[in-house]
Structures are given as structure tokens and as C-alpha cells.
Amino acid sequence: MTTLTMEQRRADFEAMLKRAERVRAAGQKRREMCPEADGLVLARLTEEISDLCYGWHEAAHRASLGTLAPYTVGQVTKSALHVAAHCLAALRDRDPDGYLESARREGYLSLRSRDMGMAPSVRIGRLITYLGDLAACSTDSYDPNGEIAPHRFRALTVEAVCAALAAERGLWQEEES
């Protein structure tokens, strides 16, 4: 089992969140020139999460065979950071001043074992579940005041940042207790 203190895990989470923020900032100019409708935001997130889930499955399988290449680890981490960056961009659109702090707070409150090893099917299922929750609340009839969607974006941000952390640590499978 990985022996990281909660302080180390939080520091790692903070560093990875900052990386996701840099990815978000790098794409900000393009987003300002070509604003995305809510439907396109969800479509793009769906594609990015699909890539992340497929990459995670592939990496876990290769790790179990002992044939995991560093390139694969980098690709999965990059996919996770893109998902987190896209969520941060959506949060920034909704709360330009407090979006990063709210994501940080959400991460600290719900870190639990998400940044550690878990069965690939659980991690993939969690990512898809959070995307589904976000898609469900994106309609005005479900979230008329627009208060639920930011929470769903924050939750998906945390999930993606934790996936990036676990990928960098090489924790493709559930850890032994």
C-alpha cells in the first residue's frame, strides 16, 4: 500500500490542480474567441471522459501484464488534466473570482481514497457517473437557479485530478490493504 500522509496527498492534489489550471489558462484565449454552448461543453466533456476511461482501462490492463509504457502514463494523465481543465473553465464562467478556491475546497473535503489505487471499473464508473450527474442537471428544468451545476463541475474536477494523481503514481489497480 502507498504510504502517503494526508498532508502529502493534499499537497499533491494542490500541485495537480495547479497543473489543470495551467491547462485551462492555456486554452482560455481560444474559448474567448469561440464560446461554447452548454451542449457543446457536455459533448466535449463526454469525448474527453471517454478517452480518459479507455486510456485508464488500457493502462490497467498493460500494467497487469507488465507492459505499461511511460507514454501511456503520460497520455492518461494528460487526458485527466484536460477533463479537469474543461471543468475549471466551466466553473470560471460561472464564478470568475472563486472557481479555483471552490474546487480546492471540494477536493480537500472529498479526497478520501480517490487519489489512490482503486479497481479500474470503479474509477471508470465514477467518472461516467459524475458526467451523467452533470448532464442531468444541465437542463433548466432540473436546475432552474443554476445552483447544482457548479457543484457537479467541481465534483468532476476533483475526480479527474485524482485520476491524474493515481496515474502518475502508477496506481492502476486497487491497492492491497
Burial of 42 from C-beta contacts in 10 A (0-12 / 13-18 / 19+): middle
Q: What is the model's pLDDT at position 19?
A: 97
Indicate if the alpha-carbon torsion angle 102, 25, 160, 36 is positive or negative. positive
What is the pTM for the complete model shown? 0.89
Distance CA 81, CA 16 (A): 8
Query: For residue 62, what is its C-alpha cell?
Result: 498493460
Q: What is the model's pLDDT at position 177?
A: 47
- Residue whose C-alpha is closest to residue 119's, from 67, 164, 55, 57: 57
Q: What is the CA radius of gyration of the chain?
A: 16
One digit per residue, the tens of pLDDT, for the chain of length 177 reads 468 899 999 999 999 999 999 999 998 766 666 666 667 888 899 999 999 999 999 999 999 999 998 889 999 999 999 999 999 998 888 888 888 898 988 888 778 888 998 999 999 999 999 999 888 886 655 666 666 788 889 999 999 999 999 999 999 987 654
Alpha helices in the chain (DSSP H): 6-26, 28-33, 38-65, 70-94, 99-110, 120-137, 148-169
Q: What is the model's pLDDT at position 173?
A: 87
Distance CA 175, CA 36 (A): 39
Q: What is the model's pLDDT at position 139?
A: 62
